[in-house]
Structure 1
Amino acid sequence: MTRVLVARQDNLGDVLLAGPCVRGVAAHASHVTLLTGPQGRAAGDLLPGVDDLLTWRAPWIDADPQPVTAADTEEFVERIRAQAVDEALILTSFHQSPLPLALLLRLAGVPWIGAISEDYPGSLLDLRHRVDGDRPEPERMLSLAEAAGYPLPAADPGGLAVRGPLPDVARLTGREPYVVVHPGASVPARQPSAAVSHRFVAALVAGGHRVLVTGAPAEKALTAEVADGAAVDLGGRTSLAELAAVLAGAWVVVAPNTGPAHLAAAVGTPVVSLFAPVVPAARWAPYGVPVALLGDQHAQCRATRARTCPVRGHPCLDTIDPADVRRAVAGLARAHP
């Protein structure tokens, strides 16, 4: 049996989408270390199959990178060396290179490294895997594990998953059925305006739904504006595990392209995905659960990877009709006992 390091150094959603790959490795390895960035660590804590978790802010990936220093780099290399891993799989998005991390892993003495790479890797990779087309990210990452000899067991359906049991959150949710609206995202281009999200909430309440609005501590002002007396405001009141439990209890989750949308998929809850086309929905839409995709997928911002909307008025999301959100929720709720 081997000790394997799996690296995914992006945000919460990216780490959750790596779950099937991690489970494939865990089914065959004696020990799995997951390397995340600081923004994704909490998701790593929830992934089945992870034995050990390391965190390091990669300056070529992190959205708020720190200056590169010899001391920080050398400390990281020594931390990896202490893990004594036999193999490593580097997971990246299509626009990221695995080669900087591969170089550091080589310096740490990792004898075998695999990654998806379009760039010539020289001696940095033992497995240079390629994936064509717009495969969903979980399948893309799982294909690397399969190419490295770590397929999922036949009994594993390959969806997203989190560790159980999840905490009891009845004190937060109450006992009556509810729909969750999660209005925030890690970058502004991917979320509707607060006023538009409030209209979604109002339409759902008018349709007879009890609505809970969720968000991180930094999003408390946003969730307060979106809830605005019409819904229960849970902004900043949950850990990630508690948020997972809140989402698991919902009939449907309404969310933009953000980590909690993938967390909802990981706990099996249908998602109304308010998806800005700055990245392809084929890759990044919630995976493995019923999804209603709303938002203009042919808007001018399509495939720009923009962090701030480049089009006046944010039309891809802010023109979504609240009645369409209500209809989408009703349709998914009927399909989700």
Structure 2
Amino acid sequence: MKKNENKVLIYRLGSLGDTVMALPCFHKVKESFPDADLTLLTNRPVATKAAPLETILGTDYFFNRVLNYPVGTRNPVVFADLIWKIRSLKIDTVVSLMSTRSQLAVKRDRFFFKAAGISQFIGLSDDNADSPPGNSIETEWEAVRLARQVNALGPIPLDDNRYWDLRLTAFELQLAEQALYTIPHRTPIIAVSIGTKNQSNDWERNNWTQLFEQLRASLSGWRLVLIGAAEEAERSNTILEAWGGKGLNLCGKLTPRVSAAVLKRASVFVGHDSGPMHLAASVGTPCVGIFSARNLPGRWFPRGTRNRIIYHRTECAGCGLEICLEQQKKCILSITVNEVQKAILETISIRTQTGFLA
């Protein structure tokens, strides 16, 4: 196989957080097939506020074109059309960056791609199905799992910043500066995102409001910048009001990539287990992450060593619930305002001591 002559299909579903976690693998594919014609196969977002994968990766480096389809469809016409489109591109290699799959799902994926004329599979062996090797109680970090899944391409150094590079353009960085033009350049910023797709991950408005009311006195010279989807703008305004109005509510006003450029300016990010948290981590901004226990600890923690993860493990940890009624979200709602405030102030103190705020 001559890698520089290949036509490669990259298969990855998901939205913001899923995409950021797969960034090192996207870089590895590009590194392994530097001159290949790359096609991205992904999903159309289910939620209106979810960002399409291509708006996160950009359109001029990681792939040449996008094919997408509605997740969960059973329509044979949709599948036949997708197979025809893939066959017409004469693709010979597929790299699967999919989430954990059952052996049946892996076999089904191989059958589909064979029908589409693809002969070489990376990340679609039976060894990649189900759980990671070993008997660890904790869940394997998603970035490690994905790197292991495509180990046929070679090792991926997940501690190397280059593999987390979104390759933001000069224009995107300029748009971020324009969005922040009312904040003097050397003024320290706390970036905040209070949005979440799941009710079970929501720390709730009263906690957020109290947190920033308490922090105001300690960080009087700082500015808040709130990011997220347009649907989160009204709720985010209450946070800005609690801060005294000193900052910006940019919810719904930025693309994911310009949001990343804005987050690059921040000294710390505070938010739920969410896409914006992973976006902040990808550009090197330390995160204070407020986690529910719907997932076991570890799998969806952000990259980097300067983050403060607040996670209370309860007996029902790993439930996977999107809506928690019976236990009334006791995992995330047991996290106190003082606990989060302490984590933020300690993160800022460390950054100050190491010269990051100079």
Instruction: Mark yes or no: TM-score above 0.5.
Output: yes
What is the CA distance between 1:47 and its match in structure 2?
8.5
Does the C-alpha gap of structure 1 residues 116 and 86 become closer, same or farther in structure 2, counting only changes over 3 Å?
closer
1:142 maps onto 2:155 in alignment? no
Say whether the 8 Å CA contact 2:228–2:250 is kept in structure 1: yes
What is the CA distance between 1:270 and its match in structure 2?
0.4
Gaps of 5+ in 1: 61-66, 120-126
Gaps of 5+ in 2: 46-51
Separation in structure 2 between the aligned mates of residue 54 and residue 179 of structure 1, nearest angstrom: 35
State the identity %.
Answer: 22
Match of 2:48 in 1: none
Match of 1:36 in 2: 42
Match of 1:108 in 2: 116
Length, aligned pairs only: 322
SS at match of 2:251: coil
Separation in structure 1 between the aligned mates of residue 130 and residue 59 of structure 2, nearest angstrom: 24
1:276 maps onto 2:286 in alignment? no
Does the C-alpha gap of structure 1 residues 157 and 223 become closer, same or farther in structure 2, counting only changes over 3 Å?
closer
Deviations 1:200-233 (A, max 9, x none): 2223323214222221112223222333352532
Match 2:10 to one of 6, 9, 20: 6
The correspondence of residues 81-92 of structure 1 with structure 2, limited to 5 A, is: 81-92=87-98
What is the CA distance between 1:306 and its match in structure 2?
0.6
Separation in structure 2 between the aligned mates of residue 11 and residue 155 of structure 1, nearest angstrom: 23
Match 1:187 to one of 182, 198, 201: 198
Given the two structures, how large is their TM-score scaled by the length of structure 2?
A: 0.80
Specify the code of the residue in structure 2 equivalent to 1:131. Answer: P
Specify the code of the residue in structure 1 equivalent to 2:188. Answer: P
Match 2:62 to one of 28, 46, 50: 50
Deviations 1:250-294 (A, max 9, x none): 111011111111101111100001011111231110012411111
The correspondence of residues 1-337 of structure 1 with structure 2, limited to 5 A, is: 1=3, 2-29=6-33, 30-31=35-36, 32-39=38-45, 40-42=52-54, 44-46=56-58, 50-60=62-72, 67-94=73-100, 97-115=105-123, 131-132=132-133, 133=136, 134-146=139-151, 148-152=152-156, 156-157=160-161, 159-165=163-169, 166-168=172-174, 169-173=176-180, 174-175=183-184, 176-208=187-219, 209-228=222-241, 230=243, 231=245, 232-296=248-312, 298-336=313-351, 337=356
Is the radius of gyration larger for structure 1 or structure 2? Answer: 2
Say whether the 8 Å CA contact 1:48–1:161 is kept in structure 2: no
Specify the code of the residue in structure 2 equivalent to 1:106. Answer: K
What is the CA distance between 1:3 and its match in structure 2?
2.5
Specify the code of the residue in structure 1 equivalent to 2:307. Answer: V
Does the C-alpha gap of structure 1 residues 46 and 316 become closer, same or farther in structure 2, counting only changes over 3 Å?
farther
Question: Runs of 4 or more off by more than 6 Å in structure 1?
Answer: 127-130
Separation in structure 2 between the aligned mates of residue 221 and residue 102 of structure 1, nearest angstrom: 45
SS at match of 2:288: strand
Separation in structure 2 between the aligned mates of residue 94 and residue 321 of structure 1, nearest angstrom: 33
Separation in structure 2 between the aligned mates of residue 118 and residue 263 of structure 1, nearest angstrom: 31
CA RMSD of aligned residues (A): 2.8
Separation in structure 2 between the aligned mates of residue 191 and residue 99 of structure 1, nearest angstrom: 36
